[in-house]
Structure 1
Amino acid sequence: MAEQVTVLFFAALREQIGQESLSVSIAPGGLSVRALRAQIEGANPAIAQALAEQPRLRVAVNQTLSTFEHMVKPGDEVAFFPPMTGG
């Protein structure tokens, strides 16, 4: 039985995709952020293009900066965002 994770998009990604979040079904055992990204890209070409245009894409899992190898579990929140610059 599949369970859900919440995926959030920030900054330019949110503007390109036209939505700030989506709910994604994953297997109860979880998957890596990289596999989650591939699943999202395979289901939505517009999201795939927006993510591909961010070569230095960053990710946070449950509001903690993470890596694409991090394992995501049902109920987690995953945020994708471009690198931020300050001034």
Structure 2
Amino acid sequence: MANHKSAEKRIRQTERRTEVNRARVSRIRTFVKKVELAIASGNKDAAAEAFKAAQPEIMRGATKGVLHRNTVARKLSRLSARIKSL
């Protein structure tokens, strides 16, 4: 348990930040899943549309520090390559 006022504050901030970050990651996963389902169905238009919606959400993960920017680049690259191959 924290003994200092500043340490108690850091605990509160960390809890809040963790909650926000979890929500962000969950949202990103949902968008990626939608793209993957569209790819699995074989519908290129639906997949491209889902990818267009997912792209800014995934990029936001990088700017907010939830995901590393290289991870984001890799995910987007792989998804777009899979859509292209349909």
Same fold (TM over 0.5): no
Larger helix proportion of the pair:
2
Per chain length, whose mean CA-contact separation is higher, i.e. which structure has more relative contact order (CA < 8 Å, sep 6+)?
Answer: 1
Give the TM-score taking structure 2 as reference length.
0.25
The higher radius of gyration belongs to 2
Give the TM-score taking structure 1 as reference length.
0.25
Larger strand proportion of the pair:
1
